[in-house]
Structure 1
Amino acid sequence: MNHSLDLALIGNCQVGALIDPSAEIVWYCLPRFDGDPTFCSLLHEHTVGEGKGYCAIELVDQIEATQSYLPNSAVLVTRLTDAQGAVVEITDFCPRFHHHGRVFNPMMLVRQVHRVQGNPRIRLLVRPTYDYGREQCSFTHGSHHIRYVSPGSVLRLTTNASITAILQELPFFLEDRLTLMFGPDEIIPEALPEMTRRFLDETLSYWHEWVRDLAIPFDWQDEVIRAAITLKLNTFDDTGAIIAAMTTSIPEASDSGRNWDYRFCWLRDSYFVVNALNRLGTTHTMEHYLNYLVNVVAAAPGGILQPVYGIDGRAHIEEKKVDTLAGYRGMGPVQVGNQAYEQIQHDVYGSAILAVTHVFFDRRLVQRGDTTLFTRLETLGELAILVHDQPDAGLWELRGTKRVHTFSSIMCWAACDRLARIAARLKLPERVTYWSAQADHIHATICSRGWNDEKKAFTAAFEGDSLDASLLLMHDVGFLAADDPRFASTVAAIERELRHGDYIFRYVEEDDFGTPKNAFIVCTYWYIYALVALGRNDEARLLFENLLKRHNRHGLMAEHVDVQTGEQWGNFVQTYSMVGLINSALRLSRRWDSAF
């Protein structure tokens, strides 16, 4: 099987799974997002019925497969049809709903298999592994369950299907419906079909209520709803962390070696996610993330922040290669952990403060920002002042080069600017004066050292001449007004040097791994933001419509796109990309009161 990223994501903010168009679970980590991939065939090619590390429902003589989400939910339905016209329907979901005053989101995945018509003959292939595909799990079983055992953990499959048929992988005729429930090693206290049917109904109700509260734009409603649900699925309820993507080691381009583990919480990415969901009117993610961030800051020596942390807040996420998986389409290496935690990236101080700023101004929140929280943030602001003109690895995490990156400096300015605004909100005039002066000083430094008069543009680094797509955000974060000629001039320079067809590259200069081959998707979205700010809405709309065509059948997007073929590359689902969709739709959509 030659995998693609035409995948669907299901989850419940505790676990997440990727499912291919024929309903094979190709990626599923336990007991949480950054855990061992019990199903990992996405990074290990196999022939149907061979290999290990997946869960498949094989329809004998299958000729067709269709797949879609149930509307406004994270519940996936796959319909398989055989050569005789028999149809099987598979419903996949991870339970999430309110129960006893709390959100019930266990380490659980449910598969319901239903005969729709005809006389389908199916085979259940359940082949969990451990230690990143190193070994297939051993098992014990009872009359209605199988315990898949690995060192230190047990995955329990509870089912009303034939245990013999599963263990021996025997084809059988599906008479009506059956259920496969993967979860912790606990006895199910009630009848499985009734319990999972209730779980499905309540999970659907949860997502319908969640979507109903979104403040979506008039245009592209389905796309925005799917993006919002996807961002929610990348949040880890237990701590409030937000992961960048569900996967590790999907290369940024074919055989590029740019294979990274994204199952961690980048402070920068999290700010973008929180900001997008706030614009849609859902604030719970921000509130949970604030708790995570406050704990991370409290544990940081001297308040010095790393760019990325584990979803449990741990600081050390050492990167290592594993030799047990060949990689996506055989394109290794497969990495576990991310050495970016050791990097210096100065934009993190702005990202942290910008993410928290909302709690001082949003009157919907029960717990709002106060002087105690402001004082904690001031510590980060002081660090931003110290480092705003110092070299770092930049937001693109260059591993072999350090420069004074202009975007990092702009985010340091944003940290001081927002502290001044927060101080004004809290009626602290002395702090307003202090932080405003610091912001003005950093602003002047950037304008002096980050501007290249020959290029007529702000450049990637101080006293440099190369360009960087992140500078398209100068207006978005408030550094330059839309009518400032330097903003339009910088956008024009980026168009000349970083635009390839309908896409914007993050940069084009050679880095540690050579010259970038594919476009980083969110950069084109940032370009759309800039075009809208400049009043070039028609151009922006055409680029946005083109990007939507590059999403997969479910409206999901990875990190990179091949500008020639439109094929997706990079870790999946990429929160950056889904954030870009939401923000672009909000900017380009007609207003509800003027759409009719």
Structure 2
Amino acid sequence: MTHKHQNSTAAPHISDLGLLSNRRSAALVTSLGEVVWYCPGRFDAPSLLARLVDAERGGSWAVKLPGAVPGGRQYLGDGGHLKSVLRVGEGGETLTITDFMPFGDDLPCGICRVFSRSPQPYQLVLNAAPDYARRAVTLQEDGEAVKIDGQHWLYASHPSEIAGESVVIDVPAGEAAWAFLSNGRLERPDWETVTRWREESLLNWQELTTHATYHGPYEDAVRASLRALRLLTDHAESATVAAPTTSLPEIIGGQKNWDYRYVWLRDAGMVVSALTRAGGDGKEGRAFLEFICAQAKPQNGLPAPPFMTVDGGEPPEEEQLDLAGYQDSWPVQIGNGARGQLQLDAYGNVLLAAKLIYGRFDVRDGDGKREHWDVVERLAEFLCDHWQDDDYGIWEERSKRPYVAGKVLAAVALEYIAECSEDAAQATRWKAAAADARVWVAANALNAEGAYAYAAGEEGVDVTAALYPVWGFCAPDSPEMLATLTVLERESCQNNLYWRHLADDDASEEGAFLAGTLWVAQYWVMRDPARARTILDAVLAYANDLGLLPEMADPHTRQPLGNVPQTFVHAALIGLVVDLAEAEKKAAE
């Protein structure tokens, strides 16, 4: 499949997207109230609405209110209910939309939309495109609902009319309205039902958001980031997906368009740290580590897969879809081809997460072992025996190399987790392996300028190296780190944003990498907090009005890029701000 469809309808801007979630699945909605992405049932399910990646054929649920312009929007509290205002007419009249996905074990799955009294008549138009638009939609009347694709039902306060391949709801001026796109057949809901769903869901969000709180610098950004992490965490499994989307491009018109609706072990260190260090009781961070350790089964000679589906399964192989792509950035694909790779840093990150949890919660099982110790031990033993192996690296390259970050992370992770071992011989063995890894790094990992190379024997430097002092591998002002920052500033920085370095591709052909930029800021917390703030502010310039951050950004066009929102970025932001707050507080004492 090599062709594209040319779009005549403009794609929604990435910065215009708001996220809805019931912590099982997700939808994205624009500031004009159009739902442009929805995967019913679970985060990685086939889409029902996908205009985000095919502006003509992907399907959406739009509010057709002539002359409407965005009038502002906000989440209600720290949960997932989104209130959007549309302004119409010269008198400043408004229509308010409250969008939410009922959140709670006893609530139905779907998208609920509640509308205030409108000054003008409008239409709700649903154009469903099942299975990534691979199937023609079937519509049929089913009592007072419309049955869609044989497995979804549209209920509403006003009559729904089938018009060709669309479902249209006409709402007269002056009348409030609601509509619910359900994953199952229901006894006909009414206003009382919808109000109850809304109130119960709000209470459930309120209860959840008490588990981690933060007060200090950049409080709004941290709250928005915690919300993003929670919205993208599966309620049943406590598994956090990397993003709710697939195939949003790393550069407009480019071909690096990946499916991020899975759970990466690599993210565990930062996500667990963010959820644990942002105040509160640590319950959420422990729950994510619980998922990782429960599902990280050995496979294909590895102690655990590098990433999983939200129920611990193996992600599908990559498959290209016959969709045009975001702004004609093709291919659009599902699945992820990196699923069988050896990624040493993934295991190191799980050990860092375990070390953090062990330092805060001394929880033991019936045999007196620390929680998850069997899995932690298995990963540590693997790193002990295999740290010297070539792997595919943190950026999931196409060829194996001696990527330095994996060796560094293996060293610090083994050192940290050895302190938690109650087997003296085991701890000694792990520390010895860590020492060997340090010797290897000193002998092989520096380039001609004395900076930490991305891969041994090569000259390129990657932003991951900014984390080496954060991990505790070296001092922030060591000669090697000073040289590393010199190269990063010269080769990978523009307008306080940083690019990653790739071995198999030209990283200049993608946007600046926001998580990596935040890592550099986290490094500067140790030396110059004011510099850290400058870099953080540059990243926050790409947060939208709801505080949601994308994977990448283009400083030339000021356009956000990549899958959005990305939990890796939000977790990195929380870690940075917590460190910054601690450093500034210490400096003020």
Aligned equivalent of 2:101: 94
1:481 and 2:475 equivalent? yes
Distance 2:215 2:474 in 1: 26
How many pairs does the alignment contain?
573
Conservation of the 8 A alpha-carbon contact between 2:58 and 2:132? no
Q: Do residues 162 (structure 1) and 164 (structure 2) align?
A: no
The aligned residue for residue 321 of structure 2 is 322
Counterpart of 2:20, as a letter, is I
Q: 1:457 aligns with which of 445, 451, 454?
A: 451
Q: 1:522-561 counterparts in 2 under 5 A?
A: 522-534=515-527, 536-561=528-553
Question: How far 1:498 moved relative to its partner?
Answer: 1.7
1:62 to 44, 68, 93: 68
1:587 equivalenced with 2:576 (yes/no): no
Shift of 1:486: 2.7
Post-superposition offset of 1:122: 0.5
Contact 1:16 1:33 survives alignment (8 Å): yes
Match of 2:12 in 1: 3
Q: Distance in 1 between matches of 2:167 and 2:243?
A: 35
In 1, are the aligned partners of 2:85 and 2:96 still within 8 Å (CA)? Answer: yes
Query: Who is 1:100 aligned against?
Result: none
Aligned positions of 1:283-302 closer than 5 A: 283-302=282-301
- 2:116 corresponds, among 107, 114, 119, to 114
Whole-Å separation in 2 of the counterparts to 1:242 and 1:219: 25
Shift of 1:162: 1.2
Contact 1:303 1:380 in 2 (8 A): no
Match of 2:7 in 1: none
Residue aligned with 1:89, SS: strand
Does residue 492 (structure 1) correspond to residue 494 (structure 2)? The answer is no
SS in 1 for 2:474: coil
Question: For each residue in 1:488-535, what CA deviation from the matched residue of structure 2 results, as whole angstroms up to 9, or x when unmatched?
Answer: 33223322222223111112x67346743421111110110111112x
- The 10-residue stretch of structure 1 (308-317 or 462-471) with the greater mean CA deviation from structure 2: 308-317
Equivalences for residues 183-582 of structure 1 within 5 A: 183-188=182-187, 191-281=189-279, 283-323=282-322, 325-363=323-361, 370=369, 373-399=372-398, 401-423=399-421, 427-452=422-447, 454-507=448-501, 511-512=504-505, 515-534=508-527, 536-582=528-574
SS in structure 2 at match of 1:157: strand
% identical equivalent positions: 26
Q: What amino acid does structure 2 have at the position aligned with 1:304? A: P
In the aligned structure 2, how far is the partner of 1:367 from the partner of 1:225? Answer: 33
Q: Is the 8 A contact 2:34 2:63 kept in 1?
A: yes
Partners of 1:410 and 1:96 lie apart in 2 by 41
The 2-side partners of 1:541 and 1:501 are apart by: 13
Conserved? CA contact 2:41–2:109, under 8 Å = yes
Taking structure 1 as the reference length, what is the TM-score of the superposition? 0.90
Structure 2 CA distance, aligned partners of 1:297 and 1:89? 45
Q: CA deviation at 1:431?
A: 2.7
Cα 1:29–1:365, aligned 2, differ >3 Å: closer, same or farther? Answer: farther
How far off its partner does 1:224 sit? 0.8
The CA RMSD measured in Å over matched residues stands at 2.6
Structure 1 pair 236–78 and aligned structure 2 pair: CA distance change class (3 A): same
Deviates more, 1:231-240 or 1:37-46: 231-240
Instruction: Measure the CA separation in 1 of the matches of 2:213 and 2:26.
Output: 25
- The 1:407–1:592 alpha-carbon spacing in structure 2 relative to 1, beyond 3 Å, is closer
- Equivalent-residue separation in structure 2 for 1:298 and 1:273 (angstroms): 20
Q: CA deviation at 1:289?
A: 2.4
User: CA deviation digits over 1:421-456, x for unaligned, max 9?
Assistant: 211xxx43333322222211211211221123x312
Distance 1:195 1:318, change over 3 A: same
Post-superposition, which runs of at least 4 consecutive aligned residues in structure 1 deviate over 4 A?
103-106, 165-168, 364-369, 590-596
- Cα separation, 2, equivalents of 1:439 and 1:253: 38
Mean Cα deviation higher: 523-532 or 487-496: 487-496
Counterpart of 2:5 in structure 1 is none
- How much has 1:228 moved relative to structure 2? 0.3
Unaligned runs of 5+ in 1: 98-102
Distance 1:431 1:588 in 2: 36
Decide whether aligned partners of structure 1 residues 483 and 421 sit closer, same or farther in structure 2, where only a CA change above 3 A counts.
farther
Amino acid at match of 1:131: D
Superposition deviation, residue 114 in structure 1: 1.2
| 8 Å CA contact retained: 1:217, 1:586 | no
* In structure 2, C-alpha distance between the alignment counterparts of 1:437 and 1:104, rounded to whole Å: 52
Displacement of 1:75 in angstroms is 1.1
8 Å CA contact 1:54, 1:126 repeated in 2: yes
Shift of 1:594: 9.9
Quote the residue 1:173 is aligned against. 172
After TM superposition, the score normalised by the length of structure 2 is 0.91
Which runs of 5 or more residues in structure 2 are unaligned? 1-9
1: CA distance between counterparts of 2:425 and 2:531?
45
| Secondary structure of 2:223 counterpart | helix
8 A contact 1:391–1:402 mirrored in 2: yes
1: distance between equivalents of 2:52 and 2:359? 43
- Would the aligned equivalents of 1:215 and 1:279 in 2 still touch at CA under 8 Å? no
**Hey, what's the Cα distance between the residues in 1 that align with 2:107 and 2:469?**
39
